[in-house]
Structure 1
Amino acid sequence: MSADLSWRDSALCAQTDPEAYYPEVGGSAVPAKRTCMACPVTTECREYAVATGQRWGIWGGLTQRELRQLINQRTAA
């Protein structure tokens, strides 16, 4: 897979604590999701996560659960 990853240069998460994007069970995803909603590359991030099967962490403003659901929906379609 030869994907263009240049969108990462504009990702706001690169300027924040990476731990926020991998909350522990019962932890809050709100800080990461808030950053994602202000990020100019949320769509690119989400599509990358789906294309590469990322099932852990906050990607493109989606929680781990939301991301897995999206991947499963697209796989079933």
Structure 2
Amino acid sequence: MSALNVCLPSPIAESWDWQLSAACRDADPAVFFHPDNERGEPRASRVRAAKRICLRCPVRARCLNYALDSSERHGIWGGYTEDERRTLQKRREMQSSPASIRPGHQDCGRTLAARAIQ
């Protein structure tokens, strides 16, 4: 009988201990996650309140990186809304892609032949 190799995940505490220092730790989670159909000024006011908490957070960058790395789809993380994180994620992906396949990198100023756009 052969020995079984098991790859264990890293301890969870080390991955999440940064949250113990988060400024939002004792805040109402409802500030960071919008209720269904929240729109207009109520939503804008809640987002501003969440971002004020994030501004004073000592682990803000770590929180944002967690949200980007895990593709967190909901809530305010690291001071960024869902839409703002999507924009950051797209930038991140563009920066990590090879220059040769980046849109517009070497094509800037070039004109397409008429047959290419038909």
Which bracket does the TM-score occupy, shorter chain normalised?
A: 0.7 to 0.9
What is the CA deviation profile of residues 14-61 of structure 1, one whole-angstrom value per residue up to 9, with x for unaligned ones?
110101101333302000000000011000000000000012210001
CA distance in structure 1 between the aligned counterparts of 2:22 and 2:72, rounded to whole angstroms: 17
Match of 2:84 in 1: 66
In proportion to residue count, which structure has more helix?
Answer: 1
1:12 aligns with 2:23: yes
Worse-superposed segment, 21-30 or 10-19 = 21-30
**Which runs of 5 or more residues in structure 2 are unaligned?**
1-8, 96-118
**Which runs of 5 or more residues in structure 1 are unaligned?**
none
CA distance in structure 1 between the aligned counterparts of 2:15 and 2:39, rounded to whole angstroms: 32
Structure 2 residue corresponding to 1:41, chosen from 37, 54, 59: 59
With structure 2 as the length reference, what TM-score do the two structures score? Answer: 0.59
Percentage identity across aligned positions? 39
Report the count of equivalent residues: 77
Larger Rg: 2
Q: Which runs of 4+ in 1 moved over 4 A?
A: none
Tell me which of the two structures has the higher relative contact order, counting C-alpha pairs closer than 8 angstroms and 6 or more residues apart.
Answer: 1
